[in-house]
Structure 1
Amino acid sequence: MRIKICGMKYPENIIEVGSLLPDYMGFIFWEKSSRFFDGTMPDLPQSIQKVGVFVDATLEEIISKIEKYNLNLIQLHGNESVEFCQNLKKLDIKIIKVFSVNDDFNFEVLKEYEAVCDYFLFDTKGELPGGNGVTFNWKLLEKYNLAKPFFLSGGIGLEDLEKIKKINLPIHAIDVNSKFEMEPGLKNTKLCKDALRCISM
């Protein structure tokens, strides 16, 4: 199982966390986020995949950020259509399509996106498109019946990792953010290191 550390913001902190070699690092390009990234991207080890997080951005905005920051994956956190994903796929970049889950979530909606994205990401439905800092009921994932690998997100803390490792589903990566911070966008490198150690065991 892999790990994605999302909501990176400050160059020195990005370098510190990057030295731990997480599989993915996420950068949020939604201006309303307290973790909005608009800075200079430090050089990172080549093994780290850079993920750009967008909320209902235009194709032009996404292309601009791909080129500026040399992004490896695009995470779509809004109401992006299947057609929009198809157009984005033409750029030859991997796509993570996010779905916000609550007790009423209909897993059938995933089927039409299966062919136009590389991964799903399941987050907790809340007031914000993401970063609400709370987990959802993972028992709901038992309704997931597709082979498409996914990222699991939503208020995940260090204490949750052992439980997640026992979930018998195609979890590609765990996405961590607010529970590993000292303030929005500033990650606690010790906690991140502990998380990476836990996942690798």
Structure 2
Amino acid sequence: MKHNTAEVAALAPDYLGFIFYDKSPRNYELNEIPELPSEIKKVGVFVNAELDFILEKIQQFGFEVIQLHGSESPEYCAELKTRHAELVSASHPNLGMTVQNAVEVWKVFSIKDTFDFSILEDYEAVVDKFLFDTKGKEKGGNGYTFDWKVLKSYLSQKLFILSGGIGLAEISSVKEFLQLNLPLYAIDVNSKFELEPGLKNIEELKNLVSALKKNN
């Protein structure tokens, strides 16, 4: 599978995601990630993976964020953070655990027409952010949006990422969504900006950056 990670990084996104899920056409199979500017945070994306596998990839690639896209429980999320903290402590006994070396955990929830937000309550204390994606046949990358009006019922103050089929045609809707004063932290884009799985359309991404900056 082709990648143009360095070209995408040149556009200075806040985050770059790398998928580790063998059923995904975007599964990352390389043994290294091109060197990225320190301002760009690397996100490892997993689906119901063994904790040892995730911890191994954090160590190998230096992920600062872990995005959990499966049916991971609150207990699973808590154990991931605890075990990562233990590994950091064992490797750097004099360092101590700080915000700088703690891994963030983002838990993904898929939405179509409705969503029971009470499900989030048990995750509040053990994840750093929520990500809302479109419920579809695949675990992400379905290429279409869900009904964002559902998020009007989101009562938490925890920051969230909006994902699912966002392309250039959706940017005006994103800007309208911002007027709701919900704790939207970022938007996640993927399939609408691909030439093929894993290979991004750089010109379209440049247009995205311009569109987001316009009238802001």
**Do they superpose with TM above 0.5?**
yes
- The answer as to 2:38 corresponding to 1:46 is yes
Q: Deviations over 1:57-95 (max 9, x none)?
A: 011000011011111100000000000100112223101
The code of the aligned residue for 1:179 comes to K
2:184: which partner in 1?
171
2:125: which partner in 1?
115
Match of 1:156 among 142, 151, 166: 166
1:195: which partner in 2?
208
List aligned pairs for 1:20-59, cutoff 5 A: 20-39=11-30, 40-59=32-51
The code of the aligned residue for 1:200 comes to K
Q: Tell me if the contact between 1:22 and 1:196 (Cα under 8 Å) persists in the aligned partners.
A: no
Superposition deviation, residue 199 in structure 1: 2.2
SS in 2 for 1:141: helix
The code of the aligned residue for 2:174 comes to I
- The answer as to 2:51 corresponding to 1:63 is no
SS in 2 for 1:195: helix
SS in 2 for 1:173: strand
1:6: which partner in 2?
none
- May I ask how many residue pairs the two structures share in their alignment? 192
Q: Deviations over 1:127-178 (max 9, x none)?
A: 1121111100011111111101111011111111121122121110100001
2:68: which partner in 1?
76
The code of the aligned residue for 1:113 comes to Y
Gaps of 5+ in 2: 85-101
Report the more deviating stretch, 159-168 or 135-144. 159-168
Percentage of matched positions with identical amino acids: 51
RMSD: 1.2
Which entry has the higher C-alpha Rg, 1 or 2?
2
Moved beyond 3 Å, runs of 4+: none
TM-score w.r.t. length of structure 2: 0.86
